[in-house]
């Protein structure tokens, strides 16, 4: 696709702000308490003040009223700029479900929060239910006019910084495993809800959630009771595209950084960019990234054209390809940078760590391959 002048100007503006706020390691450390937190409230507030958050969400609920193309531009450029706002994408994913199935009040609350820099989370996985969400066991029992929730969720991104948790729970165990599931909008500060961080290779992102007699009103249901599986299976192309676009931005940053390194670094009396082995590896990476970008924005444009429900295969393809190329580019770049690629100072080790989880979360890439193969009649 060809970007409009306005879209090009938007991309430049986001890139320039990221360069001014978080280009160096020292700047990012200042925003993230020395790299110990994954989200900067100060940076989120700055983006919100410029009207860049929730840019694709409906204007009637407080969003920017633009399209998925503009949202992808923002996601790509902030990922490329290493902006510490990773939880924004989690909230954006949750917002898609609220907008499809939520009440008017839920929509206004969620979109308003996103646009102002407050964050949201979504809780699907459990210790025994990751790729197989039909295995969800956490229970929500209807008692008079409210639900009582008991059980555990795990690997829940952004729960510790979220306003609400979009929770998948079992409300009826009488049918098959895909029946009797319901979505709830649960305040993150609900009595009886404990949120414990999971230590990983990155700053705190994931959490274990423990629900002990957590009570929510019947109005907290998102969509139709016992129909959550149907709700979750629709519109997945947007969620997968969000992950793909951030991975695309990360891949481009790794490519930019390794090009900058090899054109300065000398070995055997020559810039290492003069060696054919290096040039050809970079050429291959640049080609893959360019093709991935073209595909991502084609899917985004088709979503804006109203084809979202017919793009599940393409959404899976985008998520699969972009997350794999982001991981490949970061690892190749680290190798080409030698020992410098392993240091914090040069930033590539951060890119490697960032690239390892996306092929796992949001539906593992093995699951994406299953979706793609089944859509081909296999």
Q: How many CA atoms lie within 13 A of 176 on its CB side?
A: 2
Q: How would DSSP label each residue in 36-61?
A: TBSB-HHHHHHHHHTT-TTTTS-GGG
- Active-site option among 70, 239, 288, 349: 239
Instruction: Find the helix or strand (DSSP H, E) in which 142 lies.
Output: strand 139-143
Beta carbons of 122 and 93 less than 8 angstroms apart: yes
Taking the CA atoms of residue 199, residue 203, residue 209 and residue 210 in that order, the dihedral angle to the nearest 10 degrees is: 50
Beta carbons of 87 and 361 less than 8 angstroms apart: no
Closest to 186 in 3D by CA, of 143, 153, 137, 233: 153
What size, in residues, is the chain?
A: 378
Q: Can you tell me the distance from the alpha carbon of 120 to that of 164, in angstroms, rounded to the nearest whole number?
A: 5
Q: Can you tell me the distance from the alpha carbon of 282 to that of 130, in angstroms, rounded to the nearest whole number?
A: 36
- Please indicate whether residue 6 is annotated as part of the active site: no
Catalytic residue numbers? 239
């Amino acid at each position: 696709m060809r970007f409009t002048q306005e879209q090009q100007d938007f991309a430049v503006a986001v890139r320039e702000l990221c360069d001014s706020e978080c280009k160096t390691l020292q700047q990012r450390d200042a925003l993230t308490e020395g790299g110990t937190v994954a989200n900067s409230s100060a940076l989120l507030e700055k983006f919100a003040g410029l009207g860049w958050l929730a840019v694709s969400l409906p204007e009637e609920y407080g969003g920017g009223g633009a399209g998925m193309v503009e949202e992808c531009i923002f996601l790509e450029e902030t990922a490329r700029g290493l902006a510490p706002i990773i939880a924004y994408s989690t909230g954006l994913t949750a917002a898609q479900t609220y907008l499809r199935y939520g009440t008017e009040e839920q929509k206004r609350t969620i979109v308003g929060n996103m646009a102002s820099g407050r964050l949201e989370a979504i809780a699907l996985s459990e210790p025994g239910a990751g790729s197989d969400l039909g295995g969800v066991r956490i229970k929500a029992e209807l008692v008079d006019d409210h639900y009582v929730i008991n059980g555990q969720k795990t690997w829940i991104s952004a729960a510790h910084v979220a306003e609400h948790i979009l929770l998948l729970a079992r409300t009826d165990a009488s049918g098959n495993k895909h029946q009797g599931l319901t979505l709830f909008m649960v305040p993150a500060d609900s009595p009886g809800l404990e949120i414990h961080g999971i230590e990983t290779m990155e700053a705190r992102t994931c959490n274990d959630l423990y629900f002990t007699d957590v009570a929510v009103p019947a109005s907290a249901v998102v969509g139709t009771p016992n129909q959550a599986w149907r709700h979750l299976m629709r519109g997945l192309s947007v969620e997968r595209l969000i992950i793909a676009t951030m991975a695309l931005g990360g891949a481009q940053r790794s490519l930019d950084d390794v090009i900058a390194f090899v054109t300065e670094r000398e070995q055997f009396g020559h810039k290492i960019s003069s060696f054919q082995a290096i040039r050809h590896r970079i050429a291959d990476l640049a080609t893959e990234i360019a093709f991935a970008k073209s595909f991502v924005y084609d899917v985004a444009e088709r979503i804006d054209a109203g084809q979202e429900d017919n793009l599940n295969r393409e959404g899976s393809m985008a998520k699969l390809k972009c997350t794999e190329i982001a991981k490949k580019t970061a690892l190749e770049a680290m190798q080409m940078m030698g020992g410098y690629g392993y240091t914090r100072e040069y930033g590539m080790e951060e890119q490697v760590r960032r690239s390892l989880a996306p092929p796992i979360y949001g539906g593992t890439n093995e699951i994406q391959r299953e979706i793609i193969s089944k859509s081909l009649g296999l």
